[in-house]
Amino acid sequence: MNMDTPADAVPTGGKYLYGFVQIPNAMRPGIASMDQEMLHTIAYRDIAAVVSDAVPIVWTDLPRETLFSYLTTHQAAIEAVMERQEIIPAKFATVLSSENLVLHALKTEYRAIRSSLDDMANRIELDVVILWRDPAGLFKKIAEMPQVVAIKRQMADAGPDQCHNLQIQAGKQVKAILDSMNAACADEAKDALSPLSQACQPHEVKNDEMILNCAFLLEKHQLDAFEKQIDTLDRRHHDQLTFRIIGPLPPYSFRTLEIVQLDPDAVENARVLFSLGKTATELEIRARYREKAKTLHPDHFPEDKAARNRFESFNKAFEILKAYCRGGACSFEPVDIQNWIAVREMKYRAGTR
């Protein structure tokens, strides 16, 4: 239903989407795209999509290293635009089939795009990473703590089986101590930095050396105070911790937009499954779901192994119809299904950046 993975193929005449900006007229930023062609904009009213001609790539066939290289180029282009004007990033590897479809998305989702631009106006992202300066020394210090030493003493007199269990116990104890130290350091940093930011989004802590990996959303006028607070923390823990700041960045972790397009056949099949006419409302769809769910629930068919699969297909159809029919009445005419498009905020969880 959505573009969770890069598109399989790039259509001829397609447009690769980098993000959205607020400008009065179309302009050429003079920034190179993935294939070194210049970025350009497609404008509607006071907003525009920043695009390039689509690169002829089958994204799903790319090795991980190559895909990461393209991601780096994608972000570099967005950040180059950011140096000239504010931009709301688009999801990596978003390709639309034509300039007309880009313009259709701008017209159809104008309010959502403009709202995102307004929400993120004068805001930037800073990513903060905190690392242990001397991980080996840290583990040596933990190994000398009484809780760990006590287990090691037991190991000296233990038999092979008991020794193995004690080794596991010692490892768990070391991990618990490290986790506690990491949490205390991370909490201190977040408590100091959060009052100087509008929001924070944790990202994956990749190894034992890393204490914190977190994105902060700042008003631009907060940048100096935020960096001074980092300097204060750095001076306080200079002998133990290393602080790294990445940014200023566009609000990747707080407002990245993705283009959602539905499979027209899936929409039509869902309409037929729900016995809907050529128009329907969201309320009608929900009412039809409740009505049919009562008769299709697998509990009514304990001997029918296919009943659960049918119910799962029914629920998937409901999700498609909910996505398609937003707000008031919606049309199921083929041309309207084909032209359906939406712009949505990506939902981030820790570790998804």
Encode pLDDT of 150-194 as tens digits.
Answer: 888 887 777 777 888 888 888 888 889 999 999 999 999 999 999
In a domain, 37, yes or no: yes
Q: Are 85 and 21 within one domain?
A: yes
Q: Is residue 10 part of a domain?
A: no
Residue 227 inside a domain? The answer is yes
Q: For residue 108, how far is the Cα from the chain centroid?
A: 23
Q: Specify the number of domains making up the chain.
A: 3
- On whether the CB atoms of residues 342 and 260 are closer than 8 A, the answer is yes
Among the candidates 120, 149, 174, a domain finishes at 120
Say whether both 240 and 287 belong to one domain.
no
Asked if residue 289 is part of any domain, the answer here is: yes
237/291 same-domain check: no
259 lies in a domain? no
Residue 57 has pLDDT above 80, yes or no: no
| Together in a domain, 112 and 145 | no
Residues 247, 83: contact at Cβ < 8 Å?
Answer: no
> Residue 96: enclosing H or E segment and its boundaries?
strand 87-96
- Which of 44-58, 63-77, 249-263, 313-327 shows the highest mean pLDDT? 249-263
The pLDDT value recorded for residue 239 is 87
Q: Quick one: pLDDT band at residue 219, thresholds 50, 70, 90?
A: very high
Which has the higher per-residue pLDDT, 165 or 240? 240
Quick one: which of 213, 193, 211 has its CA closest to 203? 213
Domain extent for 182: 126-249
> Which tens digit of pLDDT belongs to each residue from 270-316?
999 998 999 999 899 999 999 988 888 888 888 888 888 888 999 99
DSSP class per residue in 227-266: HHHHHHHHHHTTTTEEEEEEEEE-STTT--EEEE---HHH
**Are 224 and 336 in the same domain?**
no
Q: Do 107 and 157 belong together in one domain?
A: no
- Under DSSP, the state recorded for 32 is B
Q: Which residue has the higher pLDDT, 114 or 294?
A: 114
CATH (domain of 306): 1.10.287.110
Q: Are residues 150 and 242 in the same domain?
A: yes
**What's the pLDDT score for residue 350?**
45
Give the number of other CB atoms < 10 A from CB of residue 319. 11
Specify the pLDDT at position 1: 33
290 and 208 belong to one structural domain: no
Higher pLDDT, 123 or 167: 123
In percent, how much of the chain has pLDDT > 70?
Answer: 91
pTM of the model: 0.81
Q: What is the chain's mean pLDDT, rounded?
A: 86
